[in-house]
Amino acid sequence: MKAFITTTSFGFIATDEEFCIVDKFLFEEKQVEILQEIGQKRLVVGEVDLINRLSGKYDEIIIETNKSRLVYSDLDAFDKIIVEKTTDHGKYIRGNLDDVILSFLDVDITGNLNSVFNDIASEKIRESVKTNDVMIVETINSLEEIEDTSGKLIERLREWCTPYLPELDKLHNHELYAKIIATYTSRESIIESGVLDNTHISLSSDYNVDISESDLGIIKSFASSVYSLYETKNDLENFVDSKIKEIAPNMYDVAGANLAAKLIAHTNGLENLAKLPSSTVQIIGAEKAIFRHLKTGENPPKHGLIFQHPSIRGSNWWVRGKLARTVASKITIAARKDAFSNDYDPGLRVELDERIEEIKKAHPFPERKKTKKEDSDKKGKKSKKGKKDRGKKKKRNKRKLRKGEYTY
């Protein structure tokens, strides 16, 4: 005889092979806590009691659950337990849930379900905010959008001001450019302020272009908006820097604040990043190149976002692949320490720096790739040498055979 246990939002329902309800355990108290434990794939006390009651009457107990069967290994009825993700009895209970509730419930659980689910949702939101992953993900996404927007707007501001201030085209610092226009605007004010004294750029007093005060006013307003974006960007970068130091100090040491935050944002959380193998961490952000490699057979990418690591970006091209593997492995170790153990290990950065120096010293020059002709010549020499060796062996065996020394 078989019994089937189905988990519902109000309790555990046990049915027999005829789809008749034979036993139950209802969540009359601590409903929120019980549902949270079930969501975390833990064994609930009421479920254990129900299994023990059924074990004396049935030969097999089939449980519809996502938990592993090993979770029930401590129970006396473990040999009778079978775990399945979906059963026909579970589908029957869910399809006729209203009739099931009305048939045997003597407490008002249905009216309480909405408030219970609201409490569970609120608790999950609080837990997600506590991890600080949400703040980092949203902040780094905002930073990327601000970088895109400010890049387009500063280009527009430069084109706007070029006829009036052509000398400032030599100023490559976009933030300083926007600050000068927003603060001083007119040629006379810029010259009098002396803000360009340390930039090796000077404004000619002979250059004279008529521009009205209203035009200068609108340029000043636009430049002020652009400069405020740069200030916001600096504030967000400082915030990300402090957050990464707080929740992922090992990643901060190994990857830096900006790269660590981008990796966490790309994987939607530090824990998700920690679960990935280093080979995947190495190519995070290079998804388009991966699909192009799979589709067209081009060479696979050697690195993704971790190219922003200074040891990779500033190195010679022929060692970037080796450095990317090394950096990715250390980032993976650092992420796992931050996510699961919370142990700060300053030795990770030391080991990474030592390994990077070893790779650079071992490969000071690019390795020359062999041409197809050289490969074919090498194969040809090997085949000729093999033929000669086989010929000599045959002759030697013939001589032994004639002398009676060769045995099969």
pLDDT at site 378: 59
Task: Note whether 266 and 133 are within 8 A (CB).
Answer: no
> Is residue 408's pLDDT more than 50?
no
Q: Tell me if 287 is assigned to some domain.
A: yes
pLDDT at site 312: 94
Q: What six digits make up the tokens of 38?
A: 């079930």
Rounded Cα–Cα distance for residues 8 and 116 (Å): 13
Residue finishing a domain among 94, 128, 162: 128
Q: Three-state SS for 15?
A: strand
Q: Is there a single domain that holds both residue 166 and residue 283?
A: no
CATH number at residue 271: 1.10.246.90
Q: Going by C-beta distance under 8 Å and a sequence separation of 6 or more, which residues neighbour residue 118? A: none
Rounded Cα–Cα distance for residues 117 and 158 (Å): 54
| Terminal alpha carbon distance of the chain | 66
Q: Tell me if 398 is assigned to some domain.
A: no
pLDDT tens sequence across 269-313:
898 999 999 999 999 999 999 999 988 988 889 999 999 999 999
pLDDT tens sequence across 163-220:
888 989 999 999 999 999 999 988 889 888 888 888 888 888 777 777 888 999 999 9
> Is residue 404's pLDDT more than 70?
no
Residue type, 111: G
Rounded Cα–Cα distance for residues 81 and 43 (Å): 14
Rounded Cα–Cα distance for residues 386 and 392 (Å): 10
CATH number at residue 162: 1.10.287.4070
pTM tops 0.85, yes or no: no
Name which of 109, 107, 75 is nearest 5 in CA terms: 75
Q: Is there a single domain that holds both residue 161 and residue 73?
A: no
Q: Is there a single domain that holds both residue 12 and residue 124?
A: yes
Q: Going by C-beta distance under 8 Å and a sequence separation of 6 or more, which residues neighbour residue 381? A: none
Query: What angle, rounded to 10 degrees, do the helices at 113-130 and 31-39 form?
Result: 50
Q: Is there a single domain that holds both residue 227 and residue 274?
A: no
> Is residue 123's pLDDT more than 80?
no
Rounded Cα–Cα distance for residues 126 and 120 (Å): 10
pLDDT at site 122: 64
pLDDT at site 14: 87
The 10 Å CB-count burial string (b at 16+, else e) for 69-83 is eebbeebebeebbeb
pLDDT tens sequence across 340-387:
888 899 999 999 999 999 999 999 888 876 665 665 665 555 555 565
Q: Tell me if 220 is assigned to some domain.
A: yes
| 3-state secondary structure labels for all residues of 126-156 | HHHHHCCHHHHHHHHHHHHHHHHHHHHHHHH
Residue finishing a domain among 197, 212, 242: 242
Range of the domain at 262: 249-362
Q: Which residue has the tokens 């980092």?
A: 136
Q: Is there a single domain that holds both residue 117 and residue 31?
A: yes
Q: Which residue has the tokens 């833990």?
A: 42
Q: What six digits make up the tokens of 57?
A: 């009457």
> Is residue 318's pLDDT more than 80?
yes
pLDDT at site 401: 61
Q: Is there a single domain that holds both residue 122 and residue 138?
A: no
Q: Tell me if 399 is assigned to some domain.
A: no
Mean per-residue pLDDT for 103-111?
52
Rounded Cα–Cα distance for residues 36 and 123 (Å): 9
Query: What angle, rounded to 10 degrees, do the helices at 88-95 and 97-104 form?
Result: 80
Q: Tell me if 388 is assigned to some domain.
A: no
